[in-house]
Each structure stands twice: as structure tokens, then as C-alpha cells.
Amino acid sequence: MVTATAFREAYSAGKVTALSYAQACLQEIERSDGQIQAWEHLMPDAVRQMAEQADADPAADNMKPLRGVPVGIKDIIDTCDAPCKWGLAELAGRQPAADATLVTSLRRAGAIIFGKTVTTEFAYLEKSRTRNPHDHSFSPGGSSSGSAAAVAAGHIPLAVGTQTGGSVIRPASYCQVHALKPTHTAIDKEGVLQTSQTLDQVGFFASCLDDICLLSSVLVDTPPLAEIEPISAPRLLMWQGLYDEQVEPYVHEGLQAIAAHLGAVVDLSPAPKELITRFQAAHKTIYDFEISQNLHPIIDPQPDKISAHAKDAVRRGRKLSTKDYREALLVREDARSFMATVFADYDGLLSASATGQAPTFENGTGNPACNTLWSLCGTPCLSLPLSGPLRITGPAGLGVGLQLTAGLGDDEKLLQTGIWLEARLT
């Protein structure tokens, strides 16, 4: 796959066309998606027309940062030219009248929307049909399964997903691609299925960090890659024993090797386990309460057509009192305050993007334990798929990403630190 950044450089130099790039992506989708099944709705004819139009537009339009760049959209995000069924077969005919705000931003920046990528039902826990491109017997993760897999398979350079628990960073880890979940308020969620108004966040996937920076400049309003100031010797924190036995031993060992390699820039400290357990419990309470409030009007009339995962979430939410919910929201504020004190002293916190390598397909979408704290706090996170001797590798040879987290609103600092970090680890 030619990266979006490389395509833009060649395109600006007149060495390639948007149509030829789009055709190459469509050919790769045709070749491999029969096994991977990353796409819910593909629009090849419209894609070719949009690419031809991009090539025919005035030269001044080349200032658009995403002119001619293919992008996939998770199928809980509205698009006016493609159906959006939220991962539910019974909503196959749902056709939004307008684009989500973020899709409008992508189109204005010149992006070519290829179509909708597969998601899990209601972006929740029931696995989708999508397979891991690196080994089809394994899961790509959820709920942004199609978006992560489409990038990992080389179908497209960029894809948008969402995260409420761990649905951007975890699939990025399983599929070994880069991902950014920015600060929770950075991307407008108008036109995105709401399961939790407190926790829902938008993120995206790319095959390289340069492409993450490119898309972030459009959706998050961080500086373009060329304008991102280099950072020298950041101060990093790693909590030892984070999430205990939920994380595979080889992941803990891999993190220790990374810390040893980075040396004095990383402070090692025992994980504040009791606090984190309390914070994660609050995440679950908020999620259950809000998903029940948001989805019961859809689920109640057709319980026989809804997965047990979604019905159980609604049942759990109904058992929670408003007092339980409000107390959990107060715990969330405690978590955000606590993390603010941590990031007052550090540029970033290092942890694993997932508890281990991808689970087998039959075993579901995986454990989001490594991500829920950051979804609760809304802090920006970056997942880096390392290569070389410091790559964290599971028993089946699948990798585990390195997660870098920064303070609320520090999205540019996160990218600065990520660029520095990746250069020293790969």
C-alpha cells in the first residue's frame, strides 16, 4: 500500500493520479476482501467518479490536504451516499439524509470516501464477520473491526473508527497498524451513533505515523507533519504491573524491555492498582447506564434479532439507579483530576495497547482492559505497531502495540512524543 503521505507527494509532483491510486485500492479490495470481509458497503463506481473529479479540479485544489486520498468510514457514522446500519442486519435499508460532521470535514479536505467498513452490532461486543488480515483464524478486534482490517490489508491508507471502551486502540494492536484516539472532544460526533454520550469518541487508523499526522491535521486540527515541532528527551512514565494478570506475561516482559532500551527518559513506578480498579468500575457503570438509555428503544421491540451482549447491557443498565450513575460520573472526574496530576510531570505514559495478541476469531473481540481508563478520562492515545527486536510478539507470532497516552488536550504533544518514540524503537 502506498501511504497517503507518499501519494500526496507524488500527486503534487504530477507523478500519479487520484484515479490510478483509487483503482489500485479497489483492485486490492477485490483480491483479498472475500476472505477478510472488512467492507460493509463499497462504492466503486462513485469512487472512480470522485477520483476523476479530483484529477480534473483546478490546480489550486491541490492545497486540500487529503485531495485524492481514499478513506473508509465505520458503519455507525452517517454518510449521505451510502447506507448506515450500525452493524444490525435489520437496519440494512437505513439511509442517512446527511453526512456526519466529520465526513463533511473529510470531503472538504479532498478525501475520497470509499464506503462503509464493517462494525460490530451497535459498536458493542458481538463479533463481526471481519477476519484479521495477518491470520484469518484470529480476530481483528472490535468494534472498529473493518476499519482496522481494511488498513492492515492494504485496501486503503486511512480509515475512521470509534472508541467507547477500547475499539480503536485495541483493533490497531491486533491488526498491527497505527491508530490515534484524540482527546474526546476533538472530533465532532454529530451523525455518529450514540451509545454513550459520556464515553463515545472518534479515532482513526493508518499504516504509518506520518499518515496519522496527516489525518489529525484535518480532523483534530493539529499542525501538519512538516510543522510539528521535534521534541527532545521527553519525560515518560510506565506503571509496572498495570492490570496484573489480565495482561499476558510476555506483554509485561516486552514493556520492561522497552523501558530498559529507552533508559533514563522513562520513570518506572508501581501501578496505582486500587485507583485504577475503581476508575474502571466507573467506566462500566457509565457505559451500561447510558447504552441502556440510548439503545432500549431499538432493542426492546425486536429482542429476538439482537445479540445477547447488547440485551445484557441494557438489562444491566436498567438495574442501575440514577444515584449509581451520578456517583460513577463523580469518579470519572476524580480519574481526570488524578491523571492531570500525572501529566503535569510527564509528557506521556507508556502501556500496552492490548492485553496480548489477538484472540482467535471464535473467542470474540478481545479484552479492552488496557483502554477503558483512557476512554473514561477522554485522554488522547496513540498505538504504535513496533517492529524489530523490541516488538512485543505473542505465541502465534502476532504483535501487540505500544500505547502512548498524554494529557487532555495535549494531542500535538502526543504526536511529537510518538514521532520521537517510534524513531528510537523501530
Catalytic residues: 74, 143, 167
Longest dimension (CA), the chain: 62
Q: How many CB atoms lie within 10 A of CB 410?
A: 18
Comparing C-alpha atoms, which of 412, 409, 347, 404 is closest to residue 172? 404
Q: Is the separation of the CB atoms in 128 and 88 below 8 Å?
A: no
Assign 3-class secondary structure to 231-275. CCCCCEEEEECCCHHHCCHHHHHHHHHHHHHHHHHEEEEECCHHH
The backbone torsions φ and ψ at residue 355, rounded to the nearest 5 degrees and listed phi first, read -75, -15
**Which residue type is seen at 113?**
I
> Is residue 159 within 8 Å of residue 204, measured between CB atoms?
yes
| Nearest CA among 70, 102, 300 for reference residue 186 | 102
Angle (CA) 228-406-339 rounded to 5° is: 155
Residues 6+ apart with CB under 8 A from 188: 100, 101, 102
| Cα 325 off chain centre by | 26
- For residue 74, the 8-state DSSP code is E
Measure the CA–CA gap between 420 and 418, rounded to whole angstroms: 5
User: Residue 198 carries which DSSP code?
Assistant: T
Cite the DSSP H helix spans in 221-380: 249-262, 273-299, 308-319, 322-343, 372-377
For residues 162 and 192, is the Cβ–Cβ distance under 8 A? Answer: yes
For the record, the C-alpha cell of 19 comes out as 484515479
